[in-house]
Amino acid sequence: MAITEEKTVEEKNLSFVEQLVEQDLAEGKNAGRIQTRFPPEPNGYLHIGHAKAICMDFGVAEKYNGVCNLRFDDTNPTKENNEYVENILNDISWLGFKWGNIYYASDYFEKLWDFAVWMIQNGHAYIDEQTAEQIAEQKGTPTTPGVASPYRDRPVEESLKLFNKMNTPEAVEGSMVLRAKLDMANPNMHFRDPIIYRIIHTPHHRTGTKWHAYPMYDFAHGQSDFFEGVTHSICTLEFVPHRPLYDKFIDYLKEMRGETENLHDFRPRQIEFNRLNLTYTVLSKRKLLQLVKEGLVDGWDDPRMPTISGLRRRGFTPESIKAFINRIGYTKFEAVNDISLLEFSIREDLNKRATRVCAVIDPVKVVITNYPDDQVEQMEMENNPEDPTSGTHTMPFSREIYIERDDFMENPPKKFFRMTPDKEVRLKGAYIVKCTGCKKDADGRIEEIYCEYDPESKSGMPGSMRKVKGTLHWVSARHCIDAEVRLYDRLFAVENASEVKDRDFHELLNPDSIKVVEHAKIEPFLAENAEPGAHFQFQRIGYFTPDKKDSTKEHLVFNRTITLKDSWQKINK
């Protein structure tokens, strides 16, 4: 006998947004229809904060069989362009989300204009010819009422005439604005006759020079939601004080259309969640643009940038970004999340998918003096011990190899289990060797290290089973290839980089956020397999990906996605 059980909210593990959506569905609102939107302004590249909004907007639509549309909030031509539009589309697809339609706020300029005219005709808006400073001065404070503009009660005809003038090439930018006539004493400052239209002559990336008067965000966003039939308009907490205005303009819009609540009760519902803030980075498009413009980074997709394209170029996967967002969740209060959580998510994901290879970043040569000079053996290397289906590849072994310079010490401290005279150490996937000495130059720098190998200790042989404390990675000197390796680290050295106000932004940058190694030695397998988008674990070092812009077959370039372990914990705390 089948038993149907209603799961409680806790059992379903719903976010508070999903709980509200389920409530609306239970009440039969909007005939059970779910429609969301992701509304970027095309004035920059998307960053990890946007990914949080994207996961919510698309996630809710997916979960409740709805649709999520994309809407470009393109109401300020001075900052927007098509390059940004293209990249936003690309980034959302890469994250793995599918939109229903693509809309533009600029498609509604005509409708918004008509609505603004209706507002004027019905005494709800007027043209103010004061300066921006005068208007700001009259706003008052949350506890003291504002002062009415001298133009507040000007005749409707005058405002209509001036509104038309605002939309001509002759209108002077800043000479007048259209303001909604609401309530100069309202404790919500957004109600104190907000500016709803302004003059801009910069050509628009889609409508060219057709318009000269442009709606402000608050006069475009909610209306666009309404025109499109959005049921849940999910945004970030800074829009909480805008919500009454959002609702007010929709009331007017419905009144204009003669829609009473009984006739047509559709109305988008705004729901707000906390923005993503991250330590050791900034997530403001204005600041990110500054980094790009001042050449402090190599463009919006510099691997140190918190942009989606930067993270992608750095070697992050969509899965790791989504796992991170899932981990931090959605709340109703502002907080700052630790970037090490994002780093944990990418380590966890790459541990499962990255192919293990050998690369020596700071090479020193080791000669295995009892290994025949003309002999080469192909050693079988596991591709990924975490994934039994991943198979193996071979790596050549010969008399001369490279190891990391700091894996050798002539006079080591007690717990040094790497290469040192008279001690055995294991070469990963090959033999156990014993160091017999080294050669130094005049300055005491090690030039060459000498070892003897035990022919019975080859990986897999019984002789390999004995206990040897250290295992080193290596590459065959004769077979390895050179590669450029870019060791990236956090872009900012300061934990609360986005909050610091009293220091210059430039002082907060991490001076060691990139180190370039020109001639790392990498195993020959990578010559054929370092495709863009591939992920590798350089054993004992970290996770790396070929740089999609600069890496070629002739000159391989690898970006360090992340170190194997979090070294910031001990050093910087």
User: For binding to ligand ATP (CB under 6 A), which residues are involved?
Assistant: 39-41, 49-50, 52-53, 73, 235-236, 275-276, 283-285
Q: Would you call 258 exposed, middle or buried from its count of C-beta atoms within 10 A (0-12, 13-18, 19+)?
A: exposed
- The least distance separating ligand ATP from the CB of residue 220, rounded to whole angstroms, comes to 12
Q: Is 12 among the residues known to form the active site?
A: no
- The least distance separating ligand ATP from the CB of residue 572, rounded to whole angstroms, comes to 24
CA distance 187 to 196: 19
Beta strands 514-522 and 471-472 are unpaired
Q: Would you call 528 exposed, middle or buried from its count of C-beta atoms within 10 A (0-12, 13-18, 19+)?
A: exposed
**CB-CB neighbours of 380 under 10 Å:** 13
Judge contact between 428 and 537, C-beta under 8 A: no
- The least distance separating ligand ATP from the CB of residue 12, rounded to whole angstroms, comes to 23
Which of residues 55 and 359 has its CB atom nearest to ligand ATP in the complex?
Answer: 55
**CB-CB neighbours of 99 under 10 Å:** 20
Judge contact between 427 and 474, C-beta under 8 A: yes
Both tokens of residue 155?
Answer: 């005749």
Which of residues 234 and 556 has its CB atom nearest to ligand ATP in the complex?
Answer: 234
CA distance 376 to 395: 10
Burial 1-20 (b: 16+ CB within 10 A, else e): eeeeeeeeeeeeebeebbeb
CA distance 63 to 425: 54
Active-site residue among 22, 33, 41, 400?
41
**Which residue of this chain has its Cβ atom nearest to ligand ATP in the complex?**
49
**CB-CB neighbours of 262 under 10 Å:** 6
Q: Half-sphere exposure of 156 toward its Cβ, with a 13 Å CA cutoff?
A: 9
Active-site residue among 79, 154, 165, 275?
275
Q: Is 41 among the residues known to form the active site?
A: yes
- The least distance separating ligand ATP from the CB of residue 243, rounded to whole angstroms, comes to 13
CA distance 210 to 556: 49
Which of residues 326 and 369 has its CB atom nearest to ligand ATP in the complex?
Answer: 326
- The least distance separating ligand ATP from the CB of residue 343, rounded to whole angstroms, comes to 18
Q: What Rg do the C-alpha atoms of the chain give, in angstroms?
A: 31
- The least distance separating ligand ATP from the CB of residue 41, rounded to whole angstroms, comes to 4
Active-site residue among 269, 285, 313, 314?
285
- Specify the 3-state DSSP secondary structure of 134: helix
- The least distance separating ligand ATP from the CB of residue 335, rounded to whole angstroms, comes to 11
Both tokens of residue 61?
Answer: 């639509």
Which of residues 40 and 77 has its CB atom nearest to ligand ATP in the complex?
Answer: 40
- Specify the 3-state DSSP secondary structure of 157: helix
Q: Is 399 among the residues known to form the active site?
A: no
CA distance 509 to 494: 7
- The least distance separating ligand ATP from the CB of residue 223, rounded to whole angstroms, comes to 16
CA 215 to chain centre: 29
Catalytic machinery residues = 41, 275, 285
